[in-house]
Chains A and B, each alone.
Chain A
Amino acid sequence: MGGQTVSLVMAGSGGAGVVTAGSLLLEAAARAGWYAYMTRSSGPQIRGGEAAVMIRLGTEPLASHDDRFHLLVGVDWQNVGRFAAEIPLGPESLIIGDPGEGETPEVFTRSGAQQIALPMKALAKTVPDGRPNMVAFGAIAGMIGLTEDVVVGVLRDTLKRKGEAAIAASLAAFRAGVEAAADFPAVPRLPATQADTSERWSITGNEATGMGALRGGVRFVAAYPITPATEVLEWLAPALPKVGGVLVQAEDELASINQIIGGSYGGVPSLTATSGPGLALMTESLGLAVAAEVPIVVIDVMRVGPSTGIATKSEQADLNIAVYGLHGDAPHLVLAPTSVADCLFTTQWAVHLAESLQTAAIVLTDQAMGQARAVMPRSAAVSFIGQREKPAALAEGVQYKRYANTASGVSPMAIPGMAGYTYTADGLEHNETGTPSSQASDHQAQLDKRLRKLTGYNYGDHWADITGDEDADTAILTWGSSAGPAREALERLRAAGHAVKLVAVRLISPVQPEKFAEALKGVERVLVVEQSHSGQFHRYLRAQYDLPRQVKALHHPGPLAVRPGAIVEHITQWS
């Protein structure tokens, strides 16, 4: 976005080493001062199947993939065709294939892309221990303007342990690739930069989520593995003990959520991460956290559903369960990061809100942003740290009321160990002291206060990212990873002279009707963009907010990402 970008894919069967080469390329590009955005696709095999790495590099921070890739390099073509829908190409694209590996699949060539042969395997054989993936790396590097000195540094650092011979072999294969591609047709070349990269990070969304949890003050995590959330937990496992925290592997998600409820009841900010199937199991206990007013944060890294769905691919279809999945009237927080980088802020903010408001927060990220790696500006520390209101000293003979019906709805919370404040936290409806009650008046009062504390809170400007033209009569409304392509579409539209504004909602629930109305002032038409089959976000907005008369919805299920071009087209062809 902004600046110049180049988009490329390296694909090949298991053992072709495209993931390794892709990671090296990303690392080298980062050191060269470029920003990067990388996602991966792999076949259904548990280990070692075909894979594709999709990489976009640019001179400005990137939030999504482009509409099409400039370059596809197939180290071989075995089963690579199954990724075709995720690798859109056009007549301006270039496909590099190894003539020794057979024909380029028709699913790629029918795009009209230009084809060129690069005998990667044969070239690799000309160097002792040379590998075709390094030849591919060299060809790409040469074409996009990545200089050898940076690559040498990366190879030295990453292959240090394998020794000088391995470094030399990789470098020789790399050079063979650069040379062979020297007069290939042009793809966009990025300019060399003198950028200071000391304030940049290379981070995945799942890592950023983990970091946000720690920055927010989380020190207890219970974990049950599930794709694509496992990396959040695996990043936290060694990180937590370093900062005085603990992670426990639980026997299932019923256990993981109840363990964090226990940890948080004990006064330690607590979190778990899961995906759709795990969230479904957790819903009863989410209601417990709401009713007993125990702060917890649950990260749902969404994948294609329903049921086991497509475990490794992305979709934005857990919105309904996150918002409406709990039985009874159970107001709680639902938040969604709007980018890889924002996984950090939104998770940290979620911890802060859950602790301040003593309730359950669900954070909806997804596979696309969770497993994407971005080279981005270092995320600045913000001051949102979990802070629970503790009870003040009690007058002699006064009983502590755990669920006191306060004006704000937040009741100061004692933690075990505090003498004089013992109480029983309860999922049964209760009166102000926590004693179970089946009286209508207690139910009404507690429902009121649990809602009031959420609706009366000032969430500031963080409820949404609002960008674009303030006076625009057209707005794009979106959330989660669809915000990336929407941001790019916004820039393209504005560059073409269209006045448009973008509202990417971060705080899904509770709704913010006044701020929403303010954001949409003067807007006459709205395009709602999301990645779900039924248009869950669109329906949610319709139910909760006043929308302008003209509304269009652009939505399709995962795993295909929403592309910026589709958004641009919807807006420009709106008559």
Chain B
Amino acid sequence: MDACVKQRDYTAKDYKSEVKPIWCPGCGDYSVLAAITRALASLQLAPENVAVVSGIGCSSRIPAYTSVYGFHGVHGRALPVATGLKIARPDLTVLVTGGDGDGFSIGGNHFLHACRRNVDLTYIVMDNQVYGMTKGQASPTTDPDWEGSKLTPDGAGIESFHPLVVALAAGANFIARCSSSDPNNVADIITQAIRHPGFSMVQVLSPCVTFRPEQLEWKHMVRTAAVDVTDDAARAARRLMTDDGFNVGKVLYKGDRPAYQPEAKGAAAVADLEADFAL
């Protein structure tokens, strides 16, 4: 990345497309989009060398709103698409964007294995504790007593899932939480996540103003985490398991596991392999 010859100085605007977002006014995802473009500008990455990959959901719409290469696939499968892309094309910077439903429910298995595989990807999850796109059902991060969904009018009734604890346990190499109410901080954290080798997990609290209007209060509830980044997974786990989910603004864990990147180095001709079959 750093070796790229800079054509010109890029600004955040250079990473935005002309496509108008379909999001509701006030949706937290606008800030996350802005933060991504700022992060890319701060790294001065040529747009053609960046890809943003997503699944399905409101938050998963981000690729088309950027001017880099984008891939908008099917629900829950963004991480495998990004994994294949990065392994086939290690020269690219690959970001993955999506929601709590896309990433932790239908795509939950890929989430575990992406953390474990530790390919050099930056995964940005806009967590609004709801399925926004399908008009308000409980997601894996929804509190069990939330009664706002027609599908589970008495509340989901099952404990919510702690994505960062799971990410840590599964082997993610970089873990951070931030809030869409502070886009500059989100941009800074995404910048660090892109720079850090291996799989980086960034949880962004991003309110769904339409189906979880009470989340408008989040901007008053979040606080800058009082602790600094650690490379000690046990300590990070203890902190994550005891916090209330509103400690934001900091990188919580940075590991030093080498990224998984099988090398495509052989230069034999396919015809050379025919020796396998000769009598």
Contacts and interface: CB of A to CB of B under 8 A. Distances in A.
Contacts of B267: 243-244
B110 A207 contact: no
Given A262-B53, A262-B81, A424 B71 contact: yes
A239 interface: yes
Nearest to A252: B109
Interface centre among B81, B86, B89 (most CB of A within 10 A): B81
A483 interface: no
Contacts of B85: 262-263, 265-266, 416
Nearest to A27: B279
Interface in A214-265: 214-215, 219-220, 222, 239-248, 250-252, 254-265
Interface string B68-99: 11111110110111111111110110000000
Interface stretch (B197-205, B248-256, B268-276): B268-276
Contacts of A219: 88, 264
A284 interface: yes
A257 B79 CA distance: 12
Given A246-B264, A424-B71, A200 B279 contact: yes
B279 A202 contact: yes
Interface stretch (A85-93, A112-120, A428-436, A469-477): A428-436
Interface in B184-243: none
A502 interface: no
B48 interface: yes
A198 to B, nearest CB: 8
Given A254-B110, A420-B48, A435-B64, A265 B71 contact: yes
A255 B274 contact: no
B72 A250 contact: no
Contacts of B112: 251
Nearest to B19: A435
A206 interface: no
Contacts of B48: 416-422
Nearest to B278: A201
B16 to A, nearest CB: 12
B268 A246 contact: no
Majority SS of interface residues in chain A?
Answer: mixed
Contact of B82 (A252, A262, A418): A262
A245 B273 CA distance: 13
A148 interface: no
Contact of A243 (B47, B81, B91, B273): B273
Counting contact residues on chain A (CB < 8 A from B), the size range is 35 or more
B87 A220 contact: yes
A252 to B, nearest CB: 6
Contact of B89 (A260, A285, A417, A436): A417
Contact of B68 (A259, A261, A422): A422
A420 B14 CA distance: 12
B253 to A, nearest CB: 23
B214 to A, nearest CB: 30
A420 B67 CA distance: 10
A252 B77 CA distance: 11
B64 A436 contact: yes
A437 B267 CA distance: 44
A240 B82 CA distance: 21
Interface string B46-59: 11110101000000
Contacts of B25: none
Contacts of A417: 48-49, 89, 91-92
A252 B92 CA distance: 25
B273 A284 contact: no
Contacts of B276: 207, 239
